[in-house]
Structure formats: C-alpha cells, structure tokens
C-alpha cells in the first residue's frame, strides 16, 4: 500500500543569497513566505513549488503502479543507497492550488536496513534494470540520480560506486543524468535536489475543463468508536484528480460502486451517488481542488462502505460523466523482451518473456485497481481477458500486466 507526503520548496528572493543555499524545503503546512535563515540576509523564502511524493513499499507494487494509466509522472529520482539500488519517482498529476504550482509524485524502494555493510554490496540491484525499462516505456525525460548515504562510506568507496553507476546507466534512458551525492539523514545536498526540481522539471499543462475524475487509492471511516449518531461523518475517499475541478457541495458518482452477484452468478454494479462536504490536502482545507494527487474528499457516503480502503480501485467524478464499467477487456500488449529484475547465475542470460497464452492468469492494474484476469483469447499482440472484478475505465487507457514468476508478480 502506498503512503504519501507533501513538501514545499522555497527560494530566497534576495539576489545576494548564494545558490544552492537559497533553496530550502519544508512541510506542506508551513507558510508560503518565511524569513531567510542565512545570517545577515534581508530576504525572505518564497514558495516556488509544492510537491507530493507517493511511496510504494515493494518493487512489485512500484512496477505495476509505474506502468498503468494513472502513473502520470513528471520526473524520476533514481536513489542509490550504500547497499541497494532503488527507484523513487517525483511527478504524477500536477495541480495548481491557490495560484501556486504543485507537482504530485510517486516514489518507492525497499527499506535499507544494513547500514553497517555500507559499500559492501555491488550496485545496481537486479530490479533496477526493470525500473529503467519501465521509465523508458513511459518516455520519462527528467531523471536525477541520487547517491545516498554518502556519509557512511569512505571517499574511495564513493568514487568506485559512482563509476558503477555511470557504467550501469550507459545506453539507458538515464544516461547523461546528473549524479548528486547526498545524505538524507544529515541533509547534505538536499538544497541541490530542490534547485533541480525547480529549475529542471517544468510544470506540465493539465486539463481543468473536462468533467472531474478522481481515482480512489485510499478510503477511510473517520468516525471513532462510540461516536454519537448525530456526530457521525460520511466516508472519506483519497486519491489523485486526473482532470477537471472538484468543488465542495458538488454532486458526485462513484463507479463501479456496489458489486454483487445475482441468482445466476452474474456480476451487477450499482454506482454510489453522494455529495462532497469537504476537500483536504493533508491538513489544508480547500474549497476546490484541481488535477493532482493526494486529495482527501469528504462525502456523505455510508462510512462502512469506505472503511479499510473498500473504495480503492473505484473512480469518483461528476454524475453521469464517468466512463463505462467493464468485466472483459480487449487490448494490444507490449512485453519486455527479457525477464528483468531476477538474479541470474554466472553467465546465464535472462529468461526470454513468452507471449500470452489462452487460460493464463494475470494480475491486471487499471488505474488504482489491482485485480485478477484470465486470458480467454489471443491473436498476435492482441488479447482478451476476463476480469475478476469489474472496472470503470475507457478505451485507449493504459494498463499494466503482471505474471507470476518465482512467487512474485512481474
């Protein structure tokens, strides 16, 4: 399950304030203008970017999220720890809040625990090849390589690892990307990352005119046990707005909604209709929200329907303007040429990826929905699958397919 964090990036408005020290970052709840902390500087830190990070703990979750249609990323941070390679992404649906720019993002990687073995394990890790292949498929242009935990290795080890990094990214989409040595723990060179985000990652153009649509990636029952009936609140849906503008008081629809089976075993879907009573970005209450991630939508939906992420995979939007609901999909697919992210012994080559076959069971990621799918027909690079759960999607949507390989979905 993904976790999320917002951050603000500031730049001092005094021209004498040297770069990159003129850039700082802070929490999303901080003021938009702050006094400069450099001794003797008369300037003030002004908000220049508001960014969001999404963290997926686990390589398999990252891959599925990166390749589906919801992963509209603006840039990627390739973070190399002292013992492991892992990938983080900053980007995603970009939105404007009260005249300020905001970049939403997605980032991930396994936890790094073995700090006492800094520099002992070669880099990159096998799954990094798969990450880079995914970035290439997504045609992502803005990449920054971060050499983390620089404080835990000797200078010679750091230089050796730097050489390994440059050698590994040769011929990949990350070739030529800048490499910045950092220590996240001691906050070394964090201001350099802030400057890169501000100067090198442009704010993308977003769709504000289409009917609003939000993919639900979290849902909650915010009522505490023992709450009085008159104090009960409706469920909260959290997610990323893909297009349009959501406003407090707007009538909304959630699809597919309530899914059940009739007497013949056929699936039936009943969309949920409700109204927006509040909008939040972390602790900041909003009157409207535009395309971007990390928005909490307070509704009048029965709270038990939202409890424990029960709405994850659903789509929220204007009444009557959401896409149709499907239980079978026909699609053209692209497979990675070789099975990446799996260790190979000695000089053995990575296993080739076979084409889809009839009867094969896949993990299908569509938007924020992860569901099973059974291949019922194939022809060349075309396939038809029957889904375990219905999905609200539209034609030409991008999806991610995963196969079961060595007890993992890849």
- Are 234 and 272 in a shared domain? yes
Average pLDDT over residues 1-28: 86
- Are 332 and 312 in a shared domain? no
Distance CA 105, CA 74 (A): 8
Among 322, 341, 358, residue at a domain's last position: 322
Look at residue 234 and tell me if it is in a domain: yes
| CATH number of domain containing 352 | 2.40.30.10
- Are 336 and 297 in a shared domain? no
- Are 115 and 251 in a shared domain? no
Average pLDDT over residues 265-281: 92
Look at residue 208 and tell me if it is in a domain: no
Least confident of 24-28, 83-87, 270-274: 83-87
Please state the separation of Cα 158 from the chain's center in Å. Answer: 30
Among 162, 177, 200, residue at a domain's last position: 200
Q: Domain containing 63: what range? A: 3-200
Model confidence, pTM: 0.76
- Are 50 and 174 in a shared domain? yes
Look at residue 205 and tell me if it is in a domain: no
How many Cβ atoms sit within 10 Å of the Cβ of residue 318? 17
Query: Are 4 and 293 a contacting pair, CB within 8 Å?
Result: yes
- Are 175 and 219 in a shared domain? no
pLDDT of residue 53: 73
Among 322, 340, 371, residue at a domain's last position: 322
Average pLDDT over residues 317-326: 95
| CATH number of domain containing 36 | 3.40.50.300
- Are 163 and 15 in a shared domain? yes
pLDDT of residue 366: 87
- Are 65 and 184 in a shared domain? yes
Per-residue pLDDT of 340-352, as tens digits, reads 555 555 455 556 7
How many Cβ atoms sit within 10 Å of the Cβ of residue 160? 15
- What is the number of residues in the chain? 410
- Structurally, the chain folds into a number of domains equal to 3
How many Cβ atoms sit within 10 Å of the Cβ of residue 113? 9
């Amino acid at each position: 399950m993904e976790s999320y964090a917002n951050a603000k990036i500031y730049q001092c408005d005094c021209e004498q304030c040297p770069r990159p020290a003129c850039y700082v970052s802070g929490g999303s709840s901080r003021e938009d203008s702050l006094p400069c902390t450099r001794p003797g500087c008369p300037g003030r830190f002004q908000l220049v970017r508001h960014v969001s990070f999404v963290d997926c703990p686990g390589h398999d979750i990252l891959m599925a999220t990166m390749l589906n249609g919801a992963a509209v990323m603006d840039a990627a941070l390739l973070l190399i720890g002292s013992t492991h390679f892992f990938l983080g992404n900053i980007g995603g649906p970009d939105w404007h809040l009260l005249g300020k720019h905001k970049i939403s993002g997605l980032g991930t990687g396994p936890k790094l625990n073995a700090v006492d073995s800094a520099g002992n394990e070669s880099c990159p890790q096998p799954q990094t090849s798969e990450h880079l292949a995914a970035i290439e498929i997504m045609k992502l242009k803005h990449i920054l390589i971060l050499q983390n935990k620089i404080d835990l290795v000797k200078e010679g080890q750091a230089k050796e690892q730097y050489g390994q990094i440059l050698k590994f990214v040769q011929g990949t989409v990350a070739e030529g990307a800048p490499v910045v040595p950092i220590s996240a723990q001691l906050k070394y060179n964090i201001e350099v990352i802030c400057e890169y985000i501000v100067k090198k990652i442009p704010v993308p153009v977003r769709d504000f005119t289409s009917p609003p649509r939000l993919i639900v990636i979290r849902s909650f029952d915010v009522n505490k046990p023992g709450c009085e009936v008159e104090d009960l609140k409706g469920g909260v849906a959290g997610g990323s707005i893909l297009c349009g503008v959501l406003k407090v008081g707007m009538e909304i629809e959630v699809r597919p909604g309530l899914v059940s089976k009739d007497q013949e075993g056929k699936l039936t879907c009943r969309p949920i209709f409700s109204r927006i009573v509040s909008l939040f970005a972390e602790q900041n209450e909003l009157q409207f929200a535009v395309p971007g991630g990390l928005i909490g939508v307070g509704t009048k939906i029965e709270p038990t329907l939202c409890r424990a992420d029960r709405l994850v995979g659903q789509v929220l939007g204007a009444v009557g303007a959401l896409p149709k609901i499907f239980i079978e999909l026909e699609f053209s697919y692209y497979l990675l040429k070789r099975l990446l992210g799996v260790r190979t012994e000695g000089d053995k080559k990575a296993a080739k990826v076979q084409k889809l076959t009839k009867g094969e069971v896949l993990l299908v990621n569509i938007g924020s929905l992860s569901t099973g799918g059974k291949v019922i027909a194939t022809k060349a690079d075309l396939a038809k699958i029957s889904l375990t759960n219905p999905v609200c999607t539209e034609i030409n949507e991008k999806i991610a397919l995963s196969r079961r390989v060595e007890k993992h979905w890849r």
